[in-house]
Chain A
Amino acid sequence: MTNNMAAKPNGTYTNFGINTVGIIRAPRGDGKEAIVLVTPYNSQKVTPNELLSLALGFSVFSLLSRAAWLSKDIVWLSADSQFGEYSAVSSWLNQYHNPMFLSHPVNLDTKIYGANQFLYKPDGTAEKAELMAFKRAGTMAAALIFKVGETRKYGDRDSVTMYAEASNGQMPNLDLLNVVHYLAVHRQGFRVNVETFNSLLSSSWLRVIAEVFQNLGSVLRKINPDWKLDVTVPDYVEGTANLASSMYNQALGVPTGSHGAFRDYQVDAVSLEFAPAFHLKNENAKSSFLLRGGRLTEGVVRSVNNLLEKFHQSFFLYFLTAPSKFISVGVYMIPFALLLAPLPIVAAALAGGSKTKGKLEDECKTKGNADDLQMEGGSWKWLKSARVLLIIQFWAVLVSLLPYYISQIPGAMPIQYAVIWAVLSITILIILYAMFGSPSRAGVEWKLLKATMITSITIGMGLMSIINFATAQLGALILIPMCLFSRPLRAQLEMNFLPRTVLLASNILLTVLGFPPAAFLIMKGLSKGSWTVDIVGDFWLWMEFLWEWSSATYLYVFLVHLPCWLLCIHVLLHPCYQPESKMKQE
């Protein structure tokens, strides 16, 4: 067993955190694999529940140090979480995985301070040996983070909440969650929860839907008893609330706890937050809790310890609807694929349709227009719309990079930042149009423009569904109808009154919803119930938050969603000159 100092930067030398690490060498192992246990605590202000989680950690650790059956090393990290659990754990992991080779001992302290990873006393020399002796175990097989939270409900069973979402919607292997869930519920009698949206649990419309489903299911069951389609109302409501929370956390792309730091190194990790159902001064209840919590931890350690291989790769992509129920990638990909399926078809129809039309025109027309730069060959006409797409994508890249520079301006309110951002974006767009010609004057057929937009959105959605499925799914729900319904307002004039109104209304509604700040504003306004200007500032804060966690959702919003929205606006406002009339005008 060794104790080791690690990591926690805060920029100043006086203010730092210390992670304490203990390692048990496995009597039966070769030291090539390890299991990590993490107990976060705040060293500045230790509360009774944190003491309890440290006690739990230490008792498990001291028990495991006597275990003869260990074949993987055990690492116990008590992470000093005064600057946040995530940063403490991630800096330790960073140091664990990036060994420092000190070839220049002279530069020692400057280098280490510069690298901001390791904390040192300024004299540096005495500590060098200790730095060299940064202790490691083998590759991490799995990690378990456990902490004891506040007592929520007295008298009930103790409950455990599992947190699993890491950055960009990555999940730990489902087997790990299953192990934890099984042991907690069936062995130790905990109540296991996952995160949920409480507002959905009490919503009445969801209950109505659930009842419809229940009745439908029972009718179907009467027709054929083999169809097990019925789902009870509470199950449905709870599953939906859990699923919504799971999707939201994945879509946000921000880890829900320090397990996210492990996932960055491809280590499966899950956070368990115990919520004891007793008062923390109750000694008897505490020792019983320590016993059961310790058994749970030991059970998980034993399960992982006995594994000869890694967890199977098929169980990384899923949503949780209950601690023991999930929706696998094989299931949730089907609706998404169905949602995406019309896009290539529509794009092909639009591109093909405009081509045949173009050919007819070519035949009618005399061979004029030869000094036009683009090729007249019907099949290359889309080059113009591809150019529009490239300009808009270029703009989107610039817009997505702007916050990095804007945030360098010191001492401004979020709302000021947001306004600067918006103004700069619009200016850049105008400059780009001035340089490369605006799409409305480029004479692009709206069908080709729409085909290009739809193709680009297909590629964008396909990519995003791989990077972070939940974001792609939620985005697709707005973006795909917006793309498919878009039709120039002038072209709509030819239609009948009723379809025209419906189309117009859906166009306006979807375009408003599709604009990211507007969508955010509406969501915030609905949830808060207040419509103030601060929401604009909130949008900036939210984007900054995503940026800082390097969430792919940020990239999605600015590189897929925003350009598509702008293209959609262009399609809607397309002047729709027929080529003949254009020639007449000229």
Chain B
Amino acid sequence: MAIRNFWSMAAAAVGFRLVLVLFGGDLHLASRPEVSTPLTSIRRLAEGYWLKQASMSPYSGSMYHGSPLLLLVLGPLTNKRSVGHHDHIYCSLIFVAVDFIAAMLIRATGRRLQIARNRNLKSLELTEAVSNSVNVSAGDIASLIYLWNPWAIVTCVGSCTSPIENLMVVIMIYGACSRLAPLAAFGYVMATHLSLYPAILIVPIILLLGYGPDAPPTKVFRIKSSSASKTDVSDNDKSSSSRDVQQFLWKPVFHFILWMLFWTFYVLLLSSIVLNKVGGLQEMFEKTYGFILTVKDLSPNIGVLWYFFAEVFDFFRSFFLIVFNMNIVFMVLPLAIRLKHRPCFLAFIYTAIVAILKSYPSVGDSALYLGLLGLFANELAEMQFTFFLFFGYIGVSLLSPVMHNLWIWRGTGNANFYFATGLAYTCLQTVLVVESVSSMIKHDRKLRLLVTA
């Protein structure tokens, strides 16, 4: 069932953002380490744009590390000032719209998942048993979580480019869920172009395009069909439907790959046009992907890498760079094997892992995966430690600015104080990932038991 007055709540969220942007004055959010990273900071983007206008490479001087396309779109807006508002008000207004679109796409994705879920439960004849006790409109919840998440609001008002990155990831998932190969490929290419890490989402995207949206494990369908064939041989519908679920469709995947190549080519072409005469693609790769992978900027953020690489000896640096970057890649395959029947959930887990382990994390990344978490509200209804997680997130997000102040401004603390909150934050996220995966697996097991019973 849908949430009552969804639209009024969504409108209130957008209105709240607008009020903060238009009348909030300068909240100095853009300079908070939790909100803006070297990759997403709008101030750096403005600097890059200025350099480009001065016919210099936007990447010179290690200021800007984002995409040249963002320079093209947002750059002219950074020059415009409006009296009485903060500097980047026009960018902020764009980000409000971007957040709204992302929330709507999350809602549409939720709808798709809901339809698939209802169909699957019907084919398993579990609608009575499962659906009535826990059945909420997950898409509505997810989009409301995304819209009302304080971190999403802070990121949006603080004008960082992470809403755009988030939007691209959401476009990709939506496109894959509705089997729109061009859209999915566009989202994938853009998200990878903007922040590199979404590259690992190719696994869930291909699974989504191949198998369709999340479904209970194939084993459940097999048990169901075998038991059905035992009791009633003539009933062919279920076995055929279960075969539908299992089948991997190569056509959309093939389309996706073709479109992906096309978009990649197109994006690189556009980038090289933008960077024409002021630097080349080579420099772009070095200053964006290279900057991400080699963790050059060690200014404090909510992640854990800055502290580690500030401490590590130089001759170990490359070794640990490989270790930390491989950390993300190591998780891809085991999770893909275990959760291949739920590609959307797999995409959520990947985004959460990326948000934990990426080199320059910000709260904007967390806003994305917390929004996606809402898509699985029905499946995760029995999740453990939610009380602890909720208050843990609140506590850490309040504690982190205070510790930062204590270290940087008051001078009565040191780096360990701030790093401790980063560590606690990482632990919380880890608990969230572990708990959500285990409760999802538990949910699948419950379905199997219900089918066999």
Q: Do A and B come from one complex?
A: yes
Residues of A with Cβ closer than 8 Å to B?
170, 266, 313, 316-317, 348, 351, 367, 370-371, 373, 375-380, 382, 386, 451, 455-456, 458-459, 462-463, 466-467
The answer to whether A451 and B395 have CB atoms under 8 Å apart is no
Chain B residues whose CB sits within 8 angstroms of the CB of A467 once the complex forms? 402
Q: Contacts A170-B410, A266-B409 given; indicate if A455 touches B391 (C-beta within 8 A).
A: yes
The answer to whether A377 and B414 have CB atoms under 8 Å apart is no
Sorted from nearest, which 7 A-B pairs have the closest CB atoms? A377-B381, A316-B412, A459-B395, A455-B391, A266-B411, A351-B387, A382-B387
| Interface check B394, CB cutoff 8 A | yes
Which chain B residue has the least Cβ–Cβ distance from A370? B132
Chain B residues whose CB sits within 8 angstroms of the CB of A458 once the complex forms? 395
Q: Contacts A266-B409, A463-B398 given; indicate if A379 touches B383 (C-beta within 8 A).
A: yes
| Interface check B322, CB cutoff 8 A | no
| Interface check B136, CB cutoff 8 A | yes
Chain A nearest CB from B402 CB (Å) reads 5
Q: Contacts A351-B387, A367-B132, A463-B399 given; indicate if A378 touches B412 (C-beta within 8 A).
A: no
Which chain A residue has the least Cβ–Cβ distance from B414? A313
Which of under 10, 10 to 19, 20 to 34, or 35 or more describes the interface residues of B? 20 to 34
The answer to whether B394 and A373 have CB atoms under 8 Å apart is no
Chain B nearest CB from A545 CB (Å) reads 23
Chain A nearest CB from B383 CB (Å) reads 6
Instruction: Give the docked Cα–Cα distance between A32 and B3 (Å).
Output: 63
Instruction: Give the docked Cα–Cα distance between A411 and B138 (Å).
Output: 55
Chain A nearest CB from B395 CB (Å) reads 4
- Binary flags per residue of B237-271, CB closer than 8 Å to A gives 1, else 0: 00000000000000000000000000000000000
Instruction: Give the docked Cα–Cα distance between A37 and B380 (Å).
Output: 64
Which chain B residue has the least Cβ–Cβ distance from A344? B388
Q: Contacts A266-B410, A317-B412 given; indicate if A370 touches B133 (C-beta within 8 A).
A: yes
Instruction: Give the docked Cα–Cα distance between A170 and B410 (Å).
Output: 9
- Binary flags per residue of B121-135, CB closer than 8 Å to A gives 1, else 0: 000000000001111
Chain A residues whose CB sits within 8 angstroms of the CB of B382 once the complex forms? 377-379
Chain B nearest CB from A499 CB (Å) reads 28
Chain A nearest CB from B24 CB (Å) reads 14
Chain A residues whose CB sits within 8 angstroms of the CB of B381 once the complex forms? 375-377, 379-380
- Binary flags per residue of B363-387, CB closer than 8 Å to A gives 1, else 0: 0000000000000010011111111
| Interface check B390, CB cutoff 8 A | yes
| Interface check B1, CB cutoff 8 A | yes
Residue in contact with A313 in the complex, picked from B402, B403, B409, B412, CB distance below 8 Å: B412
Instruction: Give the docked Cα–Cα distance between A351 and B382 (Å).
Output: 14
Which chain A residue has the least Cβ–Cβ distance from B381? A377
| Interface check B406, CB cutoff 8 A | yes
Instruction: Give the docked Cα–Cα distance between A564 and B414 (Å).
Output: 31
Chain B residues whose CB sits within 8 angstroms of the CB of A451 once the complex forms? 387
Chain A residues whose CB sits within 8 angstroms of the CB of B385 once the complex forms? 379
Among B1, B133, B384, B385: residue with most chain A CB under 10 A: B133
Instruction: Give the docked Cα–Cα distance between A313 and B411 (Å).
Output: 7
Q: Is the interface of B mostly helix, strand, loop or mixed?
A: loop
Chain B nearest CB from A128 CB (Å) reads 27
Which chain B residue has the least Cβ–Cβ distance from A263? B410
Near A by CB (< 8 A), chain B positions 403-446 give 403, 406, 409-414
| Interface check B230, CB cutoff 8 A | no
Residue in contact with B391 in the complex, picked from A313, A375, A379, A456, CB distance below 8 Å: A456
Residue in contact with A459 in the complex, picked from B1, B135, B391, B410, CB distance below 8 Å: B391
| Interface check B28, CB cutoff 8 A | no
Instruction: Give the docked Cα–Cα distance between A316 and B412 (Å).
Output: 6
Chain B residues whose CB sits within 8 angstroms of the CB of A316 once the complex forms? 410-412
Instruction: Give the docked Cα–Cα distance between A371 and B132 (Å).
Output: 9
Chain A residues whose CB sits within 8 angstroms of the CB of B414 once the complex forms? 313
Residues of B with Cβ closer than 8 Å to A?
1, 3-4, 132-136, 377, 380-388, 390-391, 394-395, 398-399, 402-403, 406, 409-414
Chain A nearest CB from B17 CB (Å) reads 17
Residue in contact with B135 in the complex, picked from A370, A462, A463, CB distance below 8 Å: A370
Chain B nearest CB from A265 CB (Å) reads 10
Among B3, B385, B402, B410: residue with most chain A CB under 10 A: B410
The answer to whether A466 and B399 have CB atoms under 8 Å apart is yes
Chain B residues whose CB sits within 8 angstroms of the CB of A317 once the complex forms? 412
Instruction: Give the docked Cα–Cα distance between A463 and B417 (Å).
Output: 13
Chain B nearest CB from A364 CB (Å) reads 14
Chain A nearest CB from B420 CB (Å) reads 11
Instruction: Give the docked Cα–Cα distance between A225 and B383 (Å).
Output: 58
The answer to whether A371 and B1 have CB atoms under 8 Å apart is yes
Chain B nearest CB from A20 CB (Å) reads 29
Instruction: Give the docked Cα–Cα distance between A266 and B413 (Å).
Output: 12
Chain A residues whose CB sits within 8 angstroms of the CB of B395 once the complex forms? 458-459, 462
Q: Contacts A313-B412, A456-B391 given; indicate if A375 touches B136 (C-beta within 8 A).
A: yes
Chain A residues whose CB sits within 8 angstroms of the CB of B410 once the complex forms? 170, 266, 316
Which chain B residue has the least Cβ–Cβ distance from A375? B381
Chain A residues whose CB sits within 8 angstroms of the CB of B406 once the complex forms? 466
Which chain A residue has the least Cβ–Cβ distance from B128? A367
Instruction: Give the docked Cα–Cα distance between A170 and B409 (Å).
Output: 12
Chain A residues whose CB sits within 8 angstroms of the CB of B1 once the complex forms? 371
Which chain A residue has the least Cβ–Cβ distance from B403? A466
Chain A nearest CB from B453 CB (Å) reads 15
Chain B residues whose CB sits within 8 angstroms of the CB of A367 once the complex forms? 132-133
Q: Contacts A266-B409, A313-B411, A313-B412 given; indicate if A373 touches B3 (C-beta within 8 A).
A: yes
Chain B residues whose CB sits within 8 angstroms of the CB of A376 once the complex forms? 133-134, 381
Which chain B residue has the least Cβ–Cβ distance from A385? B387
Instruction: Give the docked Cα–Cα distance between A376 and B378 (Å).
Output: 10
Chain B nearest CB from A561 CB (Å) reads 16
Chain A residues whose CB sits within 8 angstroms of the CB of B409 once the complex forms? 266
Chain A residues whose CB sits within 8 angstroms of the CB of B386 once the complex forms? 379-380, 382
Chain B residues whose CB sits within 8 angstroms of the CB of A378 once the complex forms? 382
Which chain B residue has the least Cβ–Cβ distance from A329? B412
Which chain B residue has the least Cβ–Cβ distance from A352? B387
Chain A residues whose CB sits within 8 angstroms of the CB of B388 once the complex forms? 348, 351
The answer to whether B383 and A377 have CB atoms under 8 Å apart is yes
For this complex, 8 residue pairs linking A to B, each with C-beta atoms less than 8 Å apart, are A266-B409, A266-B410, A351-B388, A367-B132, A380-B381, A456-B391, A462-B395, A466-B403
Residue in contact with B412 in the complex, picked from A170, A371, A382, A455, CB distance below 8 Å: A170
Instruction: Give the docked Cα–Cα distance between A316 and B407 (Å).
Output: 12
Residue in contact with B398 in the complex, picked from A170, A373, A375, A459, CB distance below 8 Å: A459
The answer to whether B383 and A313 have CB atoms under 8 Å apart is no
Instruction: Give the docked Cα–Cα distance between A455 and B393 (Å).
Output: 12
Instruction: Give the docked Cα–Cα distance between A566 and B134 (Å).
Output: 33
Chain B residues whose CB sits within 8 angstroms of the CB of A462 once the complex forms? 395, 399
Instruction: Give the docked Cα–Cα distance between A298 and B257 (Å).
Output: 78
Which chain B residue has the least Cβ–Cβ distance from A459? B395
Instruction: Give the docked Cα–Cα distance between A451 and B390 (Å).
Output: 13
Instruction: Give the docked Cα–Cα distance between A371 and B134 (Å).
Output: 10
Instruction: Give the docked Cα–Cα distance between A455 and B391 (Å).
Output: 7
Instruction: Give the docked Cα–Cα distance between A390 and B411 (Å).
Output: 33
Instruction: Give the docked Cα–Cα distance between A380 and B380 (Å).
Output: 10
Chain B nearest CB from A554 CB (Å) reads 16
Q: Known pairs A375-B134, A451-B387. 6 more at Cβ < 8 A?
A: A370-B132, A370-B135, A379-B386, A380-B383, A459-B398, A466-B399
Residue in contact with B134 in the complex, picked from A313, A348, A377, A386, CB distance below 8 Å: A377
Instruction: Give the docked Cα–Cα distance between A458 and B382 (Å).
Output: 26
Chain A residues whose CB sits within 8 angstroms of the CB of B133 once the complex forms? 367, 370, 376
Chain B nearest CB from A221 CB (Å) reads 37
Q: Contacts A378-B382, A379-B382 given; indicate if A373 touches B4 (C-beta within 8 A).
A: yes
Which chain A residue has the least Cβ–Cβ distance from B133? A367
Q: Contacts A370-B132, A459-B398 given; indicate if A379 touches B377 (C-beta within 8 A).
A: no
Chain A residues whose CB sits within 8 angstroms of the CB of B383 once the complex forms? 377, 379-380
Chain A residues whose CB sits within 8 angstroms of the CB of B135 once the complex forms? 370
